[in-house]
């Protein structure tokens, strides 16, 4: 991506300077160097972007399925050819380690490949009628214009997760990327779609602060649906604004995900899974493990093995191959996590290892003697701190896991798979994995949460349902007789 393009908005197929007097500073979270200073979009830019998307959608919806898939074939090739560049941007813009950046790339590519099948999966139905000579035809069509608010933690994947399915089903899109990752959550996607030849206006990107264009992005009269991935607090506000204007939403929000380690679990396997599910991307993942709930009979063995594992995790420069834990997104995040950790220790938690801080680089930490009401268990950590809670039995493990307003993902470890499934059924969550950790996202599988973890589902046929609408057309074969 050229430096000139990287500092501009992308509206109606053109790269242009934002009209706001404010700027968005794109800062490398590890080096703290400024990558770019981007003149922000204002409400006039936003209005132009939505109008461009609305105009383009009238033609894009008419493009045949085969033609749409040709565009996506080209896009997949370009994304594959530019893999190294995408990974480099993820490392320097979001502090992704090389392991995380590779995983994010592969997951995003999987979403892209799945979305490429959507144009030929826009099916309808013909249903019978109780009225003689009549049939009911159900037609599926795109919703229109979709507004996508992209997050900073898995910016490329989580933006692609909405953008690609929305466009593949005949919609056009306006993206507002997170201010911390304007390239990987928006501008880089715009350049990739542009290179693939998508018509002007099909994808538009406006970079601006939430304080200036955030509410207007949701309340603007053109978008039919707002897709947001981020915190529960912000998602609740977006849902409130959208509901007031009768707009649909797709909300994937915060999590407080639990791994249940039952008394018959393979401890070594559980520790390996727990480490990955907790420390990938420094724990800054909505589906990362927040609490590990362990049966008391295997608690000490599990904690001992996990402590040894945590001690071996290297923290530092995310661009180095050996680094497992990179920087937090900013100093504010580090300060918040330290406060929750210190407050929990004051309430009786015991820190066995880690927690040392150098600026926003936090050494991976392990806390035991944690109870569910402590801040480190009650709040979404979003950082490299693992909290272990001991329980007396399976019933208590389920109760503790469910004692949270969130319900996004989770995990159950047991050598009895049937037992694991039966326990998993009792956890109030949108997703849960038996003998695996909580960080899983496959393009063809339903993804989403319960309770305060969001509304709706992404992935596969569920994404098609979310980004389309249906119309019933009743058809008489002949004419109907009326009583008056």
So which residues are the catalytic ones? 252
Q: How far apart are CA 473 and CA 470, in angstroms?
A: 10
Question: CB-hemisphere CA count at 13 Å for 169?
Answer: 31
Largest CA distance in the chain: 83
Query: From residue 186, how far is each of 10, 89, 443 by CA, in Å?
Result: 9, 12, 20
Per DSSP, the residues of 160-229 read HHHHHHHHHTT-EEEEE--TT-TIIIIIHHHHHHHHTTPPTTSEEE----IIIIIHHHHH-SS-SEEEEE
Decide: 370 and 341 in contact? Cβ < 8 Å: no
Give helix 417-425 / helix 394-402 axis angle, nearest 10°.
40
Angle CA 87–90–93, to nearest 5: 145
Query: From residue 290, how far is each of 257, 382, 404, 409 by CA, in Å?
Result: 5, 8, 11, 10
Q: How far apart are CA 352 and CA 370, in angstroms?
A: 12
Question: CB-hemisphere CA count at 13 Å for 206?
Answer: 31
Residue 149, token pair as written in the block:
């608010």
Burial bucket for residue 23 (CB in 10 Å: 0-12, 13-18, 19+): middle
75: helix, strand or coil: helix
The count of other CB atoms within 10 Å of the CB of residue 368 is: 21
Q: Which is nearest to 201 in space by CA: 12, 380, 66, 26?
A: 12
């Amino acid at each position: 991506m050229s430096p000139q393009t990287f500092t501009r908005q992308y509206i109606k197929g053109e790269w242009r300077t934002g009209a706001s007097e404010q700027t968005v500073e794109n800062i490398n979270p590890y080096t703290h160097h400024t990558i770019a200073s981007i003149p922000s979009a204002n409400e006039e830019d936003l209005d132009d972007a939505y109008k461009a998307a609305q105009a383009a959608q009238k033609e894009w919806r008419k493009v045949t399925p085969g033609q749409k898939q040709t565009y996506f074939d080209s896009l997949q090739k370009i994304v594959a050819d530019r893999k190294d560049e995408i990974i480099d941007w993820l490392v320097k813009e979001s502090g992704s380690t090389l392991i995380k950046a590779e995983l994010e790339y592969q997951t995003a590519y999987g979403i892209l490949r799945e979305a490429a099948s959507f144009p030929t999966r826009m099916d309808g139905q013909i249903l019978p009628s109780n009225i003689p000579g009549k049939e009911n035809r159900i037609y599926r069509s795109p919703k229109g214009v979709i507004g996508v608010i992209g997050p900073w933690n898995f910016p490329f994947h989580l933006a692609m997760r909405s953008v690609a399915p929305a466009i593949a089903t005949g919609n056009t899109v306006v993206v507002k990327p997170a201010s911390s990752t304007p390239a990987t959550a928006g501008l880089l996607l715009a350049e990739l779609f542009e290179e693939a030849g998508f018509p002007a206006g099909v994808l538009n990107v406006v970079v601006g602060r939430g304080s200036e264009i955030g509410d207007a992005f949701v309340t603007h009269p053109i978008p039919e649906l707002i897709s947001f991935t981020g915190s529960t607090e912000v998602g609740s506000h977006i849902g409130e604004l959208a509901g007031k204007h009768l707009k649909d939403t797709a909300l994937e929000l915060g999590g407080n995900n639990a791994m249940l380690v039952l008394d018959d679990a393979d401890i070594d396997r559980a520790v390996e899974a727990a480490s990955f599910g907790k420390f990938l991307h420094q724990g800054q993942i909505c589906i990362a493990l927040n609490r590990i709930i362990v049966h008391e009979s295997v608690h000490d063995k599990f904690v001992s093995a996990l402590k040894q594992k945590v001690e071996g995790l290297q923290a530092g420069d995310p661009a180095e191959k050996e680094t497992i834990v990179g920087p937090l997104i900013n100093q504010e995040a580090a300060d918040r996590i330290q406060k929750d950790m210190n407050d929990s220790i004051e309430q009786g938690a015991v820190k066995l290892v880690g927690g040392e801080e150098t600026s926003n680089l936090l050494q991976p930490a392990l806390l035991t003697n944690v109870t569910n009401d402590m801040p480190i268990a009650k709040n979404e950590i979003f950082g490299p701190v693992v909290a272990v809670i001991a329980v007396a039995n399976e019933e208590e493990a389920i109760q503790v896991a469910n004692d949270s307003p969130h319900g996004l993902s989770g995990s159950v470890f047991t050598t009895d798979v049937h037992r694991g499934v039966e326990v998993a059924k009792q956890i109030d969550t949108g997703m849960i994995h038996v003998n695996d950790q909580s960080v899983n996202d496959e393009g063809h599988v339903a993804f989403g949460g319960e309770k305060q973890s969001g509304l709706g589902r992404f992935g596969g046929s569920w994404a098609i349902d979310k980004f389309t609408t249906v119309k019933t057309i009743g058809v008489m074969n002949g004419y109907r007789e009326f009583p008056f």
